[in-house]
């Protein structure tokens, strides 16, 4: 989730750490404040920014990155795993 006040460099560092740990698939979505009692959204990302994060994720080594305002972990799961023969389970 993005939109909680993170800096772009922090996102890239976290993404690099995930790749280094063996993560192959990444989902990036917009944080949406569920109720007034929860933390407010610090920033809304533009769809172009999500597209750029997906491109950067590919450059970092992810096999698949799904990024967009309404993306959640199950978003297009069939495209992320089922149709990707190059994604292998971690031992």
Give per-residue pLDDT as tens, 30-51.
999 999 999 999 999 999 999 9
**Structural domain includes residue 68:** yes
Flag whether pLDDT at 3 surpasses 80.
Answer: yes
Q: How confident is the model at residue 89 (pLDDT cuts 50, 70, 90)?
A: low
**Structural domain includes residue 3:** no
**Phi, psi for 51 (deg, rounded to 5):** -60, -40
Domain count, the chain: 1
* The pLDDT of residue 61: 97
Give per-residue pLDDT as tens, 64-87.
999 999 998 765 556 655 555 555
Instruction: Supply the pTM of this predicted model.
Output: 0.80
Expressed as residue numbers, the domain containing 57 is 8-82
> What DSSP element (H or E) covers 37?
none
**Structural domain includes residue 42:** yes
**Structural domain includes residue 1:** no
């Amino acid at each position: 989730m993005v939109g909680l006040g993170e800096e772009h460099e922090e996102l890239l560092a976290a993404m690099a750490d995930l790749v280094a740990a063996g993560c192959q698939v990444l989902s990036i979505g917009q944080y949406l404040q569920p109720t007034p009692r929860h933390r407010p959204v610090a920033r809304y990302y533009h769809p172009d920014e999500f597209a750029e994060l997906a491109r950067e994720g590919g450059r970092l080594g992810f096999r698949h990155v799904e990024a967009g305002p309404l993306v959640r972990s199950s978003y297009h799961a069939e495209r992320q795993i089922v149709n990707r023969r190059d994604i292998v389970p971690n031992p």
